[in-house]
Amino acid sequence: MLAVAIDLVPGVALAWLLARKTWPGKTFAETYVVLPLVIPPVATGLILLKLLGRHGPIGHWLHEWGIEIVFTWKAVVVAMAVMSFPLLVRGARLAFESVNPRLENVAATLGAPPLRVFFTITLPLAFRGILAGAVLAFARALGEFGATVLVAGAIPGVTITLSTAIYSDIQLGHDDHAWRLLAISVLLAFGAVWIGERLSRNVARHP
């Protein structure tokens, strides 16, 4: 949930820019956002490891302030946030594109400033789609393994996640426990995807 919460504000802002504005580098931004979905998760994890490690450009600066990311719970959150970000942006962008621009134009014509138009017209009408994107992002974060295990490891009580716990149980021969965790994982993912699809369908029916 924390990973999705971190994604929410920048994801919604970027989705609105992609849906409503044309600007230099837009195609590059669209491609860059989708990359975590199409490159191997371990590749994303390796990039994060190089950036956030003590000798990385970000990690070195954070280390000077006494903040450690790699192989802590913070690395789990960062990996999940990065991997789920594209789904949140995609859902929010589709939601903004479904809002009739004429409603925004009418509000602007009546004297409403841009921020008021966004928060009173655009955002409420796009809310279901944004929520659908957030739910699907949560499902993606829930199943994240490759990037997480590389940048955070699978330290019991510190960085262990549902996916890494299943992997560890299989490695240790604890198959029964692994199957129980798998059942929980499937139920949570199924519920998240079902809710996301229902919300998306409602947005399509009532643009």
Domains and CATH numbers, the chain: 2-205 (1.10.3720.10)
Average pLDDT, the chain: 90
Q: What does the pLDDT read at residue 204?
A: 53
Q: Above 90 in pLDDT, residue 48?
A: yes
Looking at residues 98-127, what average pLDDT do you find?
A: 90
Q: What does the pLDDT read at residue 1?
A: 79
Short-list 166, 173, 10, CA closest to 88: 10
* Tokens coding 132: 């659908």
* Tokens coding 64: 């000077």
Q: What does the pLDDT read at residue 154?
A: 85
Mapped onto helix, strand or coil, the DSSP state of residue 64 is helix
Q: Above 80 in pLDDT, residue 182?
A: yes
Contact (Cβ atoms closer than 8 angstroms) between residue 152 and residue 80 = no
Please state whether the predicted TM-score (pTM) of the whole model is above 0.95: no
Split at pLDDT 50, 70, 90, the class of 143 is confident
